[in-house]
Amino acid sequence: MVTSKIIANGILRAIVFLVLATASLYFLYLIQSILMYLVVALILTLIGNPILDFFNKRLKFKHTLATIATLSVFILFIAGFILMFIPLISSQGQNLSLLKTTEIEKNITELVKASSIFLESHHIDSEQIIKEAKLTSKINFNFIPNFLNTILETISSFGIGLGSVLFITFFFLKDRLLFIAGAKKLIPDSQEDKILNSVHKINHLLSRYFIGLLLQLFIVFILYVIVLFIFGIPNLFIIAFLCAVLNIVPYIGPLIASVLAALLTMLSNLGSDFQTEILPTTIYVLIGFWIVQVIDNNLSQPIIFSKSVSSHPLEIFLVILIAGFLSGILGMVIAVPLYTILKVIGKEFFPENKLIQLLTKNI
């Protein structure tokens, strides 16, 4: 028989549960930066595991020394990029922060006028349309130095986060066996084999995926540098680096990279004749970037997606497309790793399901 005391106890337990759940979520919200450090450190650990094994097994380093060597590889890699790009970015940011907004606006206006002259020479009356729209007067160019100053401030405060991530990564790599042993004590005995097998496969597949992704970005970066070097574009390393990083966002990233490259190419050639210098150079750079994308789409990406995470390219395309509709750009970036994790878990815990058998036959 249900009494008022039982009902009151049930309501009290529900209230306590809701309060604890709300407090836990709020606590996680407060430490979101630390959680982000942990996630980044985990990604670096997945990338660093093969490097650590190389130092351990091939070079016969002791485990602690191999961990230090692996972390040193990360530090040298990061330091190389900083030494390569920060001075150039800082100088550009300083130039733009010295109230040269008017000059930027003037350059953009000249570019628009040059485009209008070119179009009118082909019997397209665009100058009147641009004047009526008053596009240049509606664009606030003050955001450019402010944006660059924000980037510089972010870079200056990046040290604490970087140090924290490297510190956490060191212990993830050094004590990974200890963490596994501790996790075993928390896992129910009935599920231990399935969970440990899932973790092992996820670690293996994501390690291959992230290493392949870094290799892909490096190849794209080198090819972009070659294209920009051929046509004598200034600050080619910065442009190539930014455009290569944009390739992390599937499908949309390369499109944005092409637009960015075209705009920077036009601005770098201001003062030259639009029809004989600016327009042909921009078209050649765009063609070069599209050739790079053809190479990337037909060589680099299929190898990463098909070999690294054992998924068909069409399967990956649909997953990224769905993730983009559901969560935007962030969803597209994390779609492949998250889908890989779900596939591994599905194969371990629901091996009899026909759909899961079809999707995980290569895992």
Check residue 96 and give its pLDDT: 44
Q: Is the pLDDT of residue 175 over 70?
A: yes
Pick the more confident residue, 88 or 283. 283
Q: How far apart are CA 124 and CA 69, in angstroms?
A: 63
CA atoms lying within 13 Å on the CB side of residue 317 = 7
pLDDT in tens, 235-289: 788 788 888 888 887 778 888 888 888 888 877 766 666 667 777 888 888 999 9
Q: How far apart are CA 42 and CA 171, in angstroms?
A: 11
Q: How far apart are CA 169 and CA 180, in angstroms?
A: 15
**Counting every residue, how long is the chain?**
363
User: For 28-52, what is the mean pLDDT?
Assistant: 81
User: For 330-347, what is the mean pLDDT?
Assistant: 82
Check residue 128 and give its pLDDT: 57
Greatest mean pLDDT among 115-119, 260-264, 289-293, 356-360 lies in 289-293
pLDDT in tens, 196-222: 788 788 878 887 888 788 888 888 999
Q: How far apart are CA 107 and CA 89, in angstroms?
A: 20
Pick the more confident residue, 156 or 353. 353
**Angle formed at CA 81 by CA 77 and CA 87, multiple of 5 degrees:** 150
Q: Which 8-state DSSP code applies to residue 272?
A: B
**DSSP string computed for 137-191:** HH--TTHHHHHHHHHHHHHHTHHHHHHHHHHHHHHHHHTHHHHHHHHHHHS-GGG
Q: Which residues pair with 272 in a beta bridge?
A: 270
Q: Answer whether 349's CB lies under 8 Å from 190's CB.
A: no
Q: Answer whether 260's CB lies under 8 Å from 292's CB.
A: no
- What's the one-letter identity of residue 138? K
Model pTM? Answer: 0.63
Please, is 30 exposed, middle or buried when counting C-beta atoms within 10 Å of its C-beta (0-12, 13-18, 19+)?
exposed
